[in-house]
Amino acid sequence: MTGLDYLLIGGFFAIVFAIGLYEREKLTLSDYWVNSRKTSSWMLVATTLSSFIGAASILGNGSVSFSGGGLATLAVPLSYFFHFLLFAVVFAPRIKEFGDAHGAFTLPDYLAFRFGPRVRDISALVILVTFALFLALQILAFGLFVATFTGFEPNTATVIAALITICYTAVGGIRADMRTDLFQFFIMMVLLVVFLPIILQEASWERMTSLSTSFLSGADFAPAYVWIFALLFLGSSVVASPDLWVRAYAGKDAEGVRRSMTASSFMVLAFMTMAVLLGIAGKVLLPDTDPNQIIPNLLVKFVPPGLFGLMMAGFFAAIMSSADTVLLVLSMTVVRDFYQKKINPKATDTELLKLSRNLIIIFGLLGLAVALVVFNIAHLSIHAVSFYACLIPVIVAGFFGKVRNERAGFWSVALGFVAIIIGLFIDPVQAFIPGIIVSALTYWIGSIRNK
């Protein structure tokens, strides 16, 4: 670490907090939740990518490929690219139109309109569980990088990382989130154009492809059918991603949302592929490293002083921009889908804004607790993504089904959720498979009986 490295990292945090503080006094509830539904197309590209690409996308995929997924892990970015593109063209413009027409803020808002209040409640519960795991994942990843930067013990570093994220997010809401996402987008790009080439040159393609066949084929991590299911279905979780729904609501118009999401899909493919390649390169360069630490250790071992601070800022940008979005979605889900709809329908915007900020603090501390208990990047990533599976069939049915069927929708989500929980105890890597199958079959059977 040189003085320039410390200056770059310190400057990054100073700019992020300055933006949050600048936005604090001017916010309305609509500003705080959906940026008053007037986000420009270029801003939407930056904020969509920055919020979507975080610890799960980078550290999670890197850890999986390093732990035995090898080249088979490319099934994950390919699946996400296809489904993200599908979301951009088919779903996102319609989400924007619905949000404008009905004043919607959350994914459960749509499910309540399409199916009824019971489906809102069960879907909001699934989102809370999913994003609690995602929050723990972001906090843990942030802590691992803080430990790399400061030399602190990882648990201590994770606590520091959580406090930074909580304070920043509570201050500025989604408007500050989007402002910083634009800045963080450009910082993140150095990972693609500088860090990845450095590591690939160190590892060399020849050494990477000479690794064992069982490693490269992914057999060391999961059976072949799991990778096939991942390629076909894992990326479909994009449709059920509440943060993308919030971004779609926040866009300026439906056509702008479509263009922005389409552009974002190609950036998502690039960053997730980068993570897979870093994990494989790590197997060549640092084969005995803890999977949690493979990407931070590559940063420490192979990036020269001067560039180190810029690369570290890039990783901080990727993780912070996702962590603050996760916190916002968690607080919005509780305030909008439970408190405002069930407990206090007459609450003023000022009261809801205050409650949102307070809940960010509470959820941040809970996420920290989960991160310290689990303390495994790959497991948290797999667990969080798996729970999306039980929401996908009911969302697709909401868009393309002709008949409103609240009972089928409720049990589809509920039984799919239970199937995933059971699956996580049996084999976490495959838990999303029974989840999506049970959820889809339940809705189909329920719809037939309703006829």
* pLDDT(373) > 80: no
Domain 3-377 classified CATH 1.20.1730.10?
Answer: yes
Domain residue extents for the chain: 3-377
pLDDT bin (cut points 50, 70, 90) of residue 52 is: confident
pLDDT bin (cut points 50, 70, 90) of residue 57 is: confident
* pLDDT(150) > 70: no
Query: What pLDDT shows up at residue 50?
Result: 82
State what percent of residues in the chain have pLDDT above 70: 88
Q: Tell me which residue has tokens 């084999």.
A: 427
Of 301, 296, 60, give the one whose Cα is nearest residue 203: 301
Query: What pLDDT shows up at residue 380?
Result: 66
Q: CA triplet 214, 215, 217: central angle to 5 degrees?
A: 65
What's the rounded mean pLDDT across residues 418-425?
A: 90
| Alpha carbon of residue 379 to chain centroid | 15
pLDDT bin (cut points 50, 70, 90) of residue 157 is: low
User: What is the average pLDDT score of the chain?
Assistant: 85
pLDDT bin (cut points 50, 70, 90) of residue 28 is: low
Lowest average pLDDT, out of 19-28, 220-229, 339-348, 362-371, goes to: 19-28
Q: CA triplet 193, 198, 200: central angle to 5 degrees?
A: 100
Residue 206 CA to residue 331 CA, distance in Å, equals 48
Task: For residue 251, report the phi and psi dihedrals to the nearest 5 degrees.
Answer: -65, 165
CB-based contacts of 127: which residues, under 8 Å, 6+ apart? 107, 108, 242, 329, 333, 391
* pLDDT(316) > 70: yes
Q: Tell me which residue has tokens 């942030």.
A: 142
Question: Can you say whether the dihedral through the CA atoms of 329, 262, 53, 23 is positive or negative?
Answer: negative
Residue 207 CA to residue 162 CA, distance in Å, equals 38
Residue 92 CA to residue 102 CA, distance in Å, equals 15
For residue 85, give both structure tokens. 């593109």
Please compute, for residue 20, the number of CA atoms within 13 A of its CA located in the half-sphere on the CB side: 22
Residue 308 CA to residue 279 CA, distance in Å, equals 19
pLDDT bin (cut points 50, 70, 90) of residue 174 is: low
For residue 377, give both structure tokens. 């990047």
* pLDDT(44) > 80: yes
CB-based contacts of 150: which residues, under 8 Å, 6+ apart? 157, 160
Cβ-based neighbour number of residue 185 at 10 Å: 22
- pLDDT tens digits for range 380-393: 667 777 888 899 99
Q: Which comes out higher in pLDDT, residue 179 or 84?
A: 84
What's the rounded mean pLDDT across residues 406-432?
A: 90
Of 235, 197, 249, give the one whose Cα is nearest residue 93: 249
State what percent of residues in the chain have pLDDT above 90: 39
Query: What pLDDT shows up at residue 173?
Result: 60
Residue 61 CA to residue 322 CA, distance in Å, equals 15
* pLDDT(67) > 70: yes
Give the helix ranges, DSSP H, for 333-391. Answer: 349-374, 377-387
What's the rounded mean pLDDT across residues 41-46?
A: 88
pTM for the whole structure: 0.85
What's the rounded mean pLDDT across residues 209-236?
A: 91
Which amino acid, 112?
A
Q: Tell me which residue has tokens 């995602």.
A: 134
For residue 266, give both structure tokens. 């190609």
Which amino acid, 276?
V
Query: What pLDDT shows up at residue 97?
Result: 96
- pLDDT tens digits for range 278-293: 999 999 999 998 887 8
Q: Which of 328-346 are b and which e, b meaning 16 or more Cβ less than 10 Å from the residue's Cβ?
A: bbbbbbbbbbbbbbeeeee
Residue 235 CA to residue 23 CA, distance in Å, equals 34
